[in-house]
Structure 1
């Protein structure tokens, strides 16, 4: 069922902007959130929505966003938890990188769900959509904080779905591979691997998410190949890990440092 209203976090660019545009094109009233106030305002103006800039991860920030969106929309039918970060590389990733990754990529979802789910249970419907990553099903070489936190994002979404689907709460996890965003541009030597099955435009990911609204499927896989990789991992973890390690050895020979990035 298509929601009447939605909040999209991290919607100032990339996948978030594409989601906001696709939802608005489908008749959904959208609140646009981003840390970058100028970007949020720009996207809101493009789609005729409301910009509510701010931190969508902290306890205070999430509460402020829910309050502002509810005041404007009347009620929140769908929450697109799209904001995310990619911080720190290898075991050298510091405490700040880990804390930031877990706060934004996992705890932001927990904090939003705490505020939204009770109302959805009363009404008998609501939708929580997480922009995770294929890294949340597989892994992301070079980026332990991103990989672990995206696994956490998928795990929390699974828990929400298993717990509340019989009471009308639909939970979905979008898990693309390479998408033509700033994160891919900053991926360095990993860019080729992430683009192996074609780097998608953000609009293609948004279209896949839109189509998934019709059947409420939990896993939204804009890259069809991810389902096969995930199945192969589950069927033979040792073989899958050996293959990933071969890729890591190839990356070690290239010795190209990666940059920190933000994905939205």
Structure 2
């Protein structure tokens, strides 16, 4: 493990790939010492070596894993928390809902965000210029058919984050919600249990966002002066109008 070397400390969850990995690189380029948390430490260790950061094992669904992660990062002096860990499982109507898939989505997106946020809040406030950035989704803004498990979890995650905006009013801490539309990462591959053909169809005929697109927006929010709070940022591909409406070329 390396130390922060007087750089401000940013914590990124779900940092082994996709938006999390891109965000870690973006924030490192902006002068942060990044602590990368994820289950796949073989991936985060490579990124940490590349950006002179710190990789720690983290399973947001495991209370003990979160406790150990929080204890270390709080001692290091976290100033920025990017709640990025999350995901979707399945695409079934409510009538055919798989309770285990729903449970995983709520544990990962909602309870995981709660655990990290609650655990690091004292350190973020103590920093004198704390910032919590939570990556939700356009699924936190509207429903879509066959997606109730994910949209429900993302709505709950967003409400957790937005409630903090009022509860922490007057404290030296900012809160930003990033709500992306279609981003081509491992997201759909996880949703369809590794079925690459199904995952590819999600992005067929349009140009989706990239992980780097989202990371750059996160970096922009993090780089604003302390008195500037970007509450909610919604970003979608030009080809996407809503969670259920997109233009696809033949």
TM-score norm. by structure 2 comes to 0.81
1:211 to 209, 214, 220: 220
Structure with more helix by fraction: 1
In 2 relative to 1, CA 225–167 (structure 1 residues): closer, same or farther, beyond 3 Å? farther
5+ residue gaps, structure 1: 231-243, 248-264
Do the aligned partners of 2:79 and 2:127 also contact (CA within 8 Å) in 1? Answer: no
How many residue pairs get matched? 226
Q: Superposed, which structure 2 residues align to 1:167-246 within 5 Å? A: 167-184=171-188, 188=199, 191-192=202-203, 198-213=207-222, 214=224, 215-223=228-236
Q: CA deviation at 1:180?
A: 1.5
In 2 relative to 1, CA 69–119 (structure 1 residues): closer, same or farther, beyond 3 Å? closer
What residue number does 2:45 align with? 41
Q: Encode CA deviations 1:29-51: one digit per residue, 9 max, x unaligned.
A: 00111111211111111211111
How big is the alpha-carbon RMSD for the aligned residues of Structure 1 and Structure 2? 2.6
Structure with more strand by fraction: 2
2:69 to 65, 69, 81: 65
* Range with bigger deviation, 38-47 or 178-187: 178-187
Q: CA deviation at 1:190?
A: 6.4
Q: CA deviation at 1:189?
A: 8.4
In 2 relative to 1, CA 23–192 (structure 1 residues): closer, same or farther, beyond 3 Å? closer
What residue number does 1:83 align with? 85
What residue number does 1:147 align with? 151
Q: CA deviation at 1:140?
A: 4.2
Q: CA deviation at 1:114?
A: 1.8
TM-score norm. by structure 1 comes to 0.77
Q: List structure 1 segments (4+ residues) > 6 angstroms apart after TM superposition.
A: none
5+ residue gaps, structure 2: 1-6, 193-197, 246-250
Do the aligned partners of 1:87 and 1:143 also contact (CA within 8 Å) in 2? Answer: no
